[in-house]
Structure 1
Amino acid sequence: MNVTLFRSWKHLAAVVLVAGALAVPSPAAAAAPAVYSTLINGDDTDVYYPASGTRLPVALLLQGANVDKAHYSSFARRLASYGFVVAVPNHTRSLFGVSGLYPEGAQASWTVDWASAEDDDPASPLYRRVDENTLVVAGHSFGAATALSLSAGLCVIPFCAIADVAPDELSAVVTYGGNNVLYGTDLVLPVLNTVPVGYLQGTADGVATPAEGQTTYNLTAGTPKAFISVTGANHYGVTNGQNPAGALPDASAQTLDQAVGVETIARWSARWLLAQTSGRGFYPAPDPNVTVTYVN
């Protein structure tokens, strides 16, 4: 696989083809991540966390519209295995008069407050294990658009309900099946991000198209940034199964095996987020199902 590499240094840019790179990061613990249920600002939340390790960064997973948190269990468990506390809330609110599962930007600050409380609570399985200064956000579909608005520190309707800005702890964002198309139009708006953004995009996505994702990446002003194409995955390549009940279905057929797709998306999400939280930079490795363009 050839990976297109864009690197910026002292206002210079170059394009390089990379044939090989660093090895894929290994999961943080041999034991499978554990899970428990809690409330974050009143939202029922599943929390996945590694069996060992301290100073673990928190990853808030923002769901797609009307995609129940249970449909992300495989992805969340896999992401947690790389050393993250993964919080997956069900956030219900009314949008244009219709009640449903619609994430909003304020969840980021709520999650920071929750994580701090868990770290201080001797009864919590996360007691003294959380990095209270680091929050990353992963978003799918509607949640991806919400994450993009957070990356710019903005309140963009309908992805927020109050005038809320991103918390200082926000360190990076990764999305799947997301773009910055102006709601209700075909216009792609620039992303004026102040934190690193990685876009994972299924090449078979019929809801959030590859062209919309690529254009959004091209119009992303801040760096580091990455565009990671997953061959054969559609809009629901990140969930446990295709077209979860209640969500807008994707009529585009997925050719990538579901389990392989979930593992691939989780692994590359972890790779991107770990690169940003460690400060070591993002350097892809060969993967038969993935093509990457990026700027460090």
Structure 2
Amino acid sequence: MAQRFSRRGVLLATGGAVVAGALVSPGTAAAAYSSVGTYGTMLNGDPADVYHPDTSSAHQPWPVVLLLQGANVGRANYAGFARKVASYGFVVVVPDHTRVIFGVPGLYADGAAATWTVAWATAENARTGSPLKGRLDAGTLLLTGHSFGGAAGLGLSTGLSTPPFTDVPVPAPAQLKAAAFYGTNNAVPGSPVIPPVANTIPVALIQGAADGVGTPANGLGTYTVLQGVPKLYVSVTGANHYGITDAQNPAGARPDPSPQTLDQATGVEVVARWAALWLRAQLGDPVGRAWVYGVGDAVDTTVQTQFVR
């Protein structure tokens, strides 16, 4: 196990990273698919959008990524992020889930959606007329999430999600392999203590350095108490709480009082790239590992990272 903080100067000197005896250059970390399709579906009764690589490609089957939305952030706000993640060779499912929390109705992700997504992938892989029939790796589930949805995902990363992030406690499905969350922490409001997270899968926390809702202090604090490894922390310079969405302060969501200085489209691309390559790395992809554990921090000047593996 090795811990690493930013080593930008060292890696710029080498211009790449060695993985399995081969030099991997920054250019090889580009998205695999230039064309991404989308269609609508239902996930356990919830409307959902599906983003997928060009189905004419021979590179299949594709793992499934579930995106758990932030509180009152509609699924359409994640189109750019989901499309970019899909371009790295994933099928991304983005549902809208409506329920009541503490007496207030709204769009609140439910950790139970992980189990629902496994069932959906199995059915969709066999469904006549599905654009993805026979093209899904239904045995592999990955998570992304934003804010409240990321907290729901952190509950699943421990093996069990509990209220308010599920209506009733639910276990993580066996198919769950890794997760990457944005603007996410498990800090208890009003308490200086952040409880440990005994995660059972690899987890990445991607954090906007200008986040005024899920603060960098709470994000880094949560990373510090993550008990399982591998784990990754990515700080995105100039990004705030809505660096993952297509536009700032989506209608209905809690606005971030801290302004974002990073261009919105650039921020979305950066967050999606690190999320996708982290997930690829945890599935054994050498390019993903080279980016996450080597060259990525050197060439991506918008981020600083640290990790344990």
Q: TM-score range by the shorter chain?
A: over 0.9
Say if 1:26 and 1:279 are closer, same or farther in 2 by CA, change over 3 A: closer
2:36 counterpart residue number? 33
Give the superposition deviation at 1:90.
0.2
For 2:6 and 2:143, the matched residues in 1 are separated by 29
Give the superposition deviation at 1:154.
1.6
1:113 counterpart residue number? 119
The answer to whether the aligner puts 1:143 opposite 2:143 as a matched pair is no
1:4 counterpart residue number? none
Instruction: Give the letter for the 2:302 counterpart.
Output: N
1:3 counterpart residue number? none
For 2:52 and 2:108, the matched residues in 1 are separated by 24
1:49-76 Cα shifts (integer Å, max 9, x gaps): 0003311000000000000000000000
Percent identity over the alignment is 51
Alignment check: 8 A CA contact 2:62 2:137 kept:
yes
The answer to whether the aligner puts 1:206 opposite 2:212 as a matched pair is yes
2:181 counterpart residue number? 175
The answer to whether the aligner puts 1:283 opposite 2:293 as a matched pair is yes
CA RMSD of aligned residues (A): 1.6
Alignment check: 8 A CA contact 2:5 2:307 kept:
no
For 1:247 and 1:227, the matched residues in 2 are separated by 25
Say if 1:177 and 1:14 are closer, same or farther in 2 by CA, change over 3 A: closer
For 1:183 and 1:251, the matched residues in 2 are separated by 18
Instruction: Give the letter for the 1:80 counterpart.
Output: A
For 1:158 and 1:227, the matched residues in 2 are separated by 25
TM-score (norm 2): 0.88
For 2:258 and 2:279, the matched residues in 1 are separated by 29
Partner SS, residue 29 of structure 2: coil
Instruction: Give the letter for the 2:272 counterpart.
Output: A
Say if 1:48 and 1:14 are closer, same or farther in 2 by CA, change over 3 A: closer
For 1:60 and 1:229, the matched residues in 2 are separated by 22
Give the superposition deviation at 1:185.
4.5
For 1:126 and 1:54, the matched residues in 2 are separated by 10
TM-score (norm 1): 0.92
Partner SS, residue 267 of structure 1: helix
Query: Which one of the candidate residues 131, 137, 158 is aligned to 2:137?
Result: 131
Say if 1:88 and 1:256 are closer, same or farther in 2 by CA, change over 3 A: same
1:42 counterpart residue number? 45
Gapped runs of 5+ residues in structure 1? Answer: 1-6
For 1:171 and 1:36, the matched residues in 2 are separated by 25
**Which stretch shifts more, 80-89 or 184-193?**
184-193
Give the superposition deviation at 1:187.
3.4
Gapped runs of 5+ residues in structure 2? Answer: 12-16, 18-23
Alignment check: 8 A CA contact 2:157 2:200 kept:
yes
The answer to whether the aligner puts 1:295 opposite 2:308 as a matched pair is yes
Partner SS, residue 127 of structure 1: coil
Query: Which one of the candidate residues 153, 158, 164 is aligned to 1:152?
Result: 158
Instruction: Give the letter for the 1:48 counterpart.
Output: Y
The answer to whether the aligner puts 1:248 opposite 2:254 as a matched pair is yes
The structure that is helix-richer by fraction is 2
Give the superposition deviation at 1:234.
0.1
Give the superposition deviation at 1:27.
1.5
Query: Which one of the candidate residues 65, 80, 90 is aligned to 2:71?
Result: 65
Give the superposition deviation at 1:104.
1.1
Say if 1:48 and 1:236 are closer, same or farther in 2 by CA, change over 3 A: same
Give the superposition deviation at 1:29.
1.8
Partner SS, residue 161 of structure 2: coil
Say if 1:15 and 1:209 are closer, same or farther in 2 by CA, change over 3 A: closer
Give the superposition deviation at 1:38.
0.4
How many residue pairs match? The answer is: 285
Query: Which one of the candidate residues 215, 221, 238 is aligned to 1:232?
Result: 238
